[in-house]
Amino acid sequence: MATAVISHEEEVRRLQRREGWRRRLPILPALLFTIAVTQIPFLFTLFYSLTDWRIDTVDPRQFIGVENYTSLSGDKFFLDAAWVTVKMTVMAVLGSLIVGTGLALLLDRKFFGQGFIRTLLITPFLVMPVVAGFMWKTQMFNATFGVINWVLNTVGIDSIEFATKYPLASVVVVLIWQWSPFMMLIILAGLQGQDASVLEAARVDGATSWGTFRQITFPQLRPFLELGTLLGAIYLIQVYDHIEVIVGGQPGAKNLPFYIAQRSIGGGNRFGLASSYSIIVVIASIIIANIGLRVLSGLLEDDS
């Protein structure tokens, strides 16, 4: 009957260790899978970005260090694409934020058919990006059959080939149309989280409706606006489908993701160079995402 003597501390340590594994084990497969499909390709991309790899020559792939990166500052196409990315993201995020806030303010009141209208307003967000692009290109922007040009014609204005003449604006309009519902939902959550009696107190205290919005509602919405901006920016920085469908390879509306695809799988075949572009986009996205997460956690802390 010689049982090993285990101290109380040792017993507690063992229990804690077992408890730790009991929690970790269930998420381990998912974690390994995520690492396999995201981090390993990322490491490959990082490696490719340091080579001159292109698949249309017989020359062997050569390691060229950071040359791809140092050449970026003089690469006019890259700089153009980067600038378009910034313009497109900023305009689409701000536009959808303004439209979304307006819609949210209209929805944040009781009226007949409120739920139905809200569902209708959300639908653009549920449309696949490629389908949205085709719809707008063929049914709205088209010079011959498009609804917008039909309206313009009826008031005596000649047809405009929107996608050719204003490629960036055309893409941004579709992005705003698709992303306003997303912003609307976030802002609506913020509006409906407002305490009704606070608004009543403001009325009793003599505030006008604009004064109430500016002094009470807007400061309370701020974290929600920030959240919408950051989540929107993370998604809209990587738009590809809309550009491909609406303006295709035309200049003026090519953002970095589109340009990366063009330069690699899209026929450019310069995988090494395109990889370095990707790394730049990833770094920019990580910076934005980090700020976003910090805002998000700030929002959650405020609640508790």
Residues of this chain that interact with other proteins (CB under 8 A) are 195, 197-198, 200-208, 211, 215-216, 219-220, 302
**Is the CB of 156 or the CB of 219 nearer to other proteins?**
219
Name the residue nearer to other proteins (CB basis): 138 or 209.
209
CA dihedral 128, 129, 134, 137 (to 10 degrees): 140
Phi and psi at residue 100, to the nearest 5°: -60, -40
Helices (H), the chain: 8-34, 40-48, 67-70, 76-107, 114-126, 129-135, 147-154, 162-165, 167-192, 196-204, 209-212, 218-236, 241-246, 256-263, 271-303
The residues, ordered by sequence, that sit 6+ positions from 193 with a Cβ below 8 Å of its Cβ are 220
End-to-end CA distance of the chain: 54
Contact predicate 187/104, CB 8 Å: yes
- Smallest separation, CB 203 to other proteins (Å): 5
DSSP string, 222-236: HHHHHHHHHHHHHHH
Specify the residue, 11 or 200, whose C-beta has the smaller distance to other proteins: 200
Q: How far is the CB of 211 from other proteins (least distance, A)?
A: 6
Question: Who's near 221: CB < 8 A, 6+ residues apart?
Answer: 101, 187, 190, 191
Q: How far is the CB of 204 from other proteins (least distance, A)?
A: 5
Q: Which is nearer to other proteins, 223 or 266 (CB)?
A: 223
Name the minimum Å distance from CB 23 to other proteins: 32
Q: How far is the CB of 220 from other proteins (least distance, A)?
A: 6
Cβ proximity to other proteins: between 66 and 198 the closer is: 198
Nearer to other proteins, 45 or 194 (CB): 194
CB of 115 to other proteins, least distance (A): 18
